[in-house]
Amino acid sequence: MITIQKYIRPQTLEEAYQLNQSKRSRIVAGMLWTRLGTGSVGTAIDLWDLGLDTIEETDEAFTIGAMVTLRQLEQHPGLNAYTQGAMKNALQDIVGVQFRNMATAGGSIWGRYGFSDVLTLFLAMDTYVELYRGGMVPLEEFARRKADRDILVRLIVKKTPGHFVYTAMRNQRTDLPVLTCAMARVGEEYRACLGARPARAVRYRDDRGLLADGITTESAAAFAQYLADIVPTESNLRGSAQYRTHLIRVLAERALGELGGMEHGN
Amino acid sequence: MEIKLKLNGKAVTASIEPDTILLDFVRDHGCLSVKRGCDTANCGLCTVLMDGMPVLSCSMLAARADGHSIQTLEGLQEEAEDFVGFIADQGADQCGFCNPGFVMNTIALLRENPDPTNDEIRAFLAGNLCRCSGYDGQLRGIRNYLNSRKK
């Protein structure tokens, strides 16, 4: 269990940033993962008072504060309308309502956890991370970076027209996923985001043009097989690499079938 | 450090360590219905309402409750009374250890959705684990309680 020497709720982002430059400081978000850690934290920096707990929607984008909870995301009518319900599908099996009332969007994305349903779905959208010092960074790039001492302030999701499907495999509902899969067509681009491999989620495109003529039974099978061939997987206690590779093909093909149905108005 | 909060409607001022967990804080203040179960934010036994919203007190710093309202089953006995009788009628409380958290989350469910379907009940209570009952008794108890309210 961690121990904390000092707890501070900064009143400005600059104050939070300065406090966070010490290696003994740590930003606390939902506290759910942090709580399970070990060691000593000099200063726990709680962003609770900075007004980062709202979702703003305009015609162009969603602006999601770092302290917005997963439950807020799950219940947001605009996000669910934009993603055709994929937002709720991605979040509803994360432990329980109480947990999702605490876990935050910022904490989930900042942690870049391998098992993250949140990272997998947000990668499928045109998502940007607003860092206090680092400015706006595409989530795809941010997800590859190592953690530093900056602060994630907001997520920006551009409302590029698209269709989204989210699916995941769990050994038991509310457990961590064995594999996560978000399939999307955003603008003219098909995207497959795969996480819990068990490494963090990555985004793949249809580089070979397998879906260039649209989603059919044959093209979906070909793209799913392509993903199974190229996406790296590893083993852990939830499943073997071989099983995960098999799941990639199955979940991707199912998700593409659903995506194809959306494109044809079904 | 000093915190001020409302615990079951009463103003409380207390001196705490920065890493005091809310679960320990409420138990130290006499709210023994709040149980320590998994201690890893998975089982729902430690559920309390913070500003009316169910949260896991095992994973929340007491410092974060500063300036907020915390409710435990001790403060919600009247609201829980009818419903708990229906659970008992089904024998669904069995060992009883999970029951306070389960009741707290059911209260939160019914405040948010007064007439849930069975699937909505299952989904909302998915974060409350029970090693005795298999969950069917709780579901029957809630359903019977809801049906009784419609009569």
- Looking at every residue in chain A, the average pLDDT score rounds to 96
- Chain A residues inside the 8 Å CB shell of B64: 31, 46, 48
Q: What is the pLDDT of residue A53?
A: 97
Q: What phi and psi, each to the nearest 5 degrees, are found at residue A233?
A: -130, 160
pLDDT-based confidence at residue A234 (cuts at 50, 70, 90): very high
Determine the average pLDDT of the residues in A90-110. Answer: 97
Which domain-ending residue is among B56, B74, B92?
B74
Contact B64 A46 (CB under 8 A): yes
Same domain as B23, residue B54: yes
Residues B120 and B88 in one domain: yes
**Three-state SS at B53:** strand
Binned at pLDDT 50, 70 and 90, residue A221 comes out as very high
* Closest to B73 (Cα-Cα) out of B127, B130, B33, B36: B33
| Contact (CB<8Å) A102/B61 | no
Cβ contact B61–A46 (<8 Å): yes
* A153 and A167 together in one domain: no
Q: What is the CATH number of the domain that holds B33?
A: 3.10.20.30
Cα dihedral A137, A116, A63, A88 sign: positive
Let me know whether B7 and B68 are in one domain. yes
Residue range of the domain that includes B43: 2-74
Same domain, B82 and B143: yes
Reported as a single tens digit per residue, the pLDDT across B17-50 is 999 999 999 999 999 999 999 999 999 999 999 9
Same domain as B49, residue B11: yes
User: How is residue A130 written in tokens?
Assistant: 């607003």
CATH code for the domain of A136: 3.30.465.10
**pLDDT in the model for residue B133:** 84
Give the mutation candidate from B49, B55, B103, B106 for the A interface (greatest A CB count, under 10 A). B55
Whole-angstrom distance, CA of residue B144 vs CA of residue B124: 17
Q: A143-190 pLDDT, tens per residue?
A: 999 999 999 999 999 999 999 999 999 999 899 999 999 999 999 999
Residues of B in contact with A49 (CB under 8 A): none
Provide the β-strand partners of residue B5.
B12
User: What does the mean pLDDT of chain B come to?
Assistant: 95
Q: Is B83 found in the same domain as B51?
A: no
Confidence of residue A100 (pLDDT cuts 50, 70, 90): very high
CB–CB of A97 and B127 under 8 A?
A: yes
B91 and B59 in one domain? Answer: no
**What is the predicted pLDDT for the residue at B93?**
82
Q: For B129, which residue in chain A has the nearest alpha carbon?
A: A96
CB contact under 8 A, B40 and A36: yes
| pLDDT at residue number A33 | 87
**Domain ranges, residue A138:** 55-158
Show Cβ contacts of residue B149 under 8 Å, excluding neighbours closer than 6 positions: none
Q: Is the peptide bond before A77 cis (omega within 30 degrees of 0)?
A: no
| Nearest in space to A74 (alpha carbons), one of A106, A12, A118, A114 | A118
CATH of the domain at B146: 1.10.150.120
pLDDT at site A266: 61
pTM for this prediction: 0.96
Chain B residues with a Cβ under 8 Å from any Cβ in chain A:
1, 17-19, 21, 40-42, 44, 47, 53-56, 58-61, 63-64, 105, 108-109, 123-128
Q: For residue A258, what pLDDT band results from cuts at 50, 70 and 90?
A: very high
Token duo for residue B54: 């169910």
ipTM for the whole complex = 0.96
Q: Say if the Cβ atoms of B53 and A30 lie within 8 Å.
A: no
10 Å CB burial of residue A171 (0-12, 13-18, 19+) is: exposed
Write a three-state SS string for chain A. CEEEEEEECCCCHHHHHHHCCCCCEEEECCCCCHHHCCEEEEEEEEHHHCCCCCEEECCCEEEEECCCEHHHHHHCHHHHHHCCCHHHHHHCCCCCHHHHCCCEHHHHHHHCCCCCHHHHHHHHCEEEEEECCCEEEEHHHHHHCCCCCCCEEEEEEECCCEEEEEEEEECCCCCCEEEEEEEEEECCEEEEEEECCCCCCEEEECCCCCCCCCCCHHHHHHHHHHHHHHCCCCCECCECHHHHHHHHHHHHHHHHHHHHHHHCCC
Per residue in A13-66, pLDDT (tens digit) is 999 999 999 999 999 999 898 888 888 999 999 999 999 999 999 999 999 999
Sequence-ordered list of residues with C-beta below 8 angstroms from that of B18, at least 6 positions apart, any chain: A4, A5, A6, A7, A44, B1, B61, B63
**Domain final residue, candidates B37, B58, B74:** B74
Domain count, chain B: 2
Most B CBs within 10 A among A98, A170, A175, A176, hence the mutation to make, goes to: A98
* Whole-Å CA distances, A210 to A190, A205, B99: 10, 10, 53
Whether the Cβ atoms of residue A245 and residue A228 lie closer than 8 Å to each other:
yes
Interface contacts (A, B; CB < 8 Å): 78
**CB A187 within 8 Å of CB A160:** yes
Please write the tens of the pLDDT for every residue from B85-122: 999 998 888 888 999 999 999 999 999 999 999 999 99
- How far apart CA B93 and CA B99 sit, in angstroms, is 6
CB contact at 8 A, A184 and A190: yes
| DSSP for residue B73 | G
Hey, are the CB atoms on B19 and A4 less than 8 Å from each other? yes
Residues A154, A83 within the same domain: yes
User: What's the number of CA atoms in the CB half-sphere (13 Å) around residue A82?
Assistant: 25
- Asked which of B74, B100, B124 is the last residue of a domain, the reply is B74
Neighbours of A221 (CB within 10 A): 16
8 A C-beta contact, residue B125 and residue B138: yes
> How many domains, in total, are found in chain A?
3
Q: Which residue has the tokens 């709780």?
A: B138
Close Cβ partners of A172 (under 8 Å, ≥ 6 residues apart): none
My answer on whether B105 and B85 are in the same domain is: yes
Q: Is the pLDDT of residue A264 over 80?
A: no
- Euclidean distance between CA atoms B109 and B92, whole angstroms: 18
B39 and B68 fall within a common domain = yes
